[in-house]
Amino acid sequence: MADTTATASTETVVKTDDGIRRRDFLDIAAIGAAGVGGVFIVYPLVSQMAPSKDVLAASSTEVDVSSIEPGQAIKAVFRKQPLFVKRLTDAEIAAANATATGSLRDPQSLEDRTKEGHRDILVTMGVCTHLGCVPLGAAEGEVKGEFGGYFCPCHGSHYDTAGRIRKGPAPTNLEVPEYEFTSDTVIQVG
């Protein structure tokens, strides 16, 4: 067996002057086809780990904000994570606007974080930007921190009335998810 292949390779392979053999084409074509095939195998193996269709389907949430009184907040669930929807009091809006934006760790004004015509509705994720704990301050009677907004008990991050980071280890403001008012009283998040 070994003998026949050895003879075959010496007799049938025609060598041209530049050292390129006809078989080199076959080698490259075979390896190339196997490589492309390999990618086709790897792609589904990687992609199967991404969120499935039912998880993606549950990735938008509707919240009715009409029943929220000024100074009150509700906790909703958006993408399996807590979502804070708060109606700010005039005093809280004034406190947020009184802060010079430039002095903040993550400079954003209340205007940047709310929608035109609904400046009193603050929609943020209830997920501390430090290590993902749920901050306190949304429910009645919870600690609101030194700046009257939210307070994360895990590592002591204080957020102000606009959900902006003011003190503690969190790097950025509470995330404002993408949302829009589908009517005067209903928001659709995601």
**Contact with other proteins (CB under 8 A): which of 52, 67, 103, 183?**
52
Residue 49 C-alpha from the chain's centroid: 16
**In Å, what is the CA distance from 60 to each residue of 52, 56, 68, 174?**
14, 8, 20, 19
With vertex at residue 68, the alpha carbon angle to CA 62 and CA 73, rounded to the nearest 5 degrees, is: 85
- Whether 130 is catalytic is no
Alpha helices in 13-113 (DSSP H): 22-47, 53-57, 90-98, 110-113
- Considering beta carbons, is residue 27 or 62 the nearer one to other proteins? 62
CB of 11 to other proteins, least distance (A): 40
Q: Of 118, 130, 155, 158, which is the active-site residue?
A: 155
Task: Report the sign of the C-alpha dihedral through residues 178, 183, 187, 189, in that order.
Answer: negative
The reply to whether 45 sits near other proteins by the rule CB under 8 A is: no
- Considering beta carbons, is residue 104 or 133 the nearer one to other proteins? 133
The reply to whether 37 sits near other proteins by the rule CB under 8 A is: no
**Contact with other proteins (CB under 8 A): which of 130, 144, 158, 166?**
130
The reply to whether 55 sits near other proteins by the rule CB under 8 A is: yes
The reply to whether 53 sits near other proteins by the rule CB under 8 A is: no
Which is nearest to 139 in space by CA: 89, 94, 82, 188? 82
- Backbone Cα Rg of the chain: 30
The reply to whether 28 sits near other proteins by the rule CB under 8 A is: no
**Neighbouring residues of 92: CB distance < 8 A, sequence distance ≥ 6:** 71, 148, 161
Residues in 133-172 at the binding interface with other proteins, rule: CB under 8 A: 133-134, 153-156, 169, 171
**Given the rule CB under 8 A, which residues bind other proteins?**
49-52, 55, 59, 75, 77, 79-82, 126, 130-134, 153-156, 169, 171
Please list the active-site residues.
155
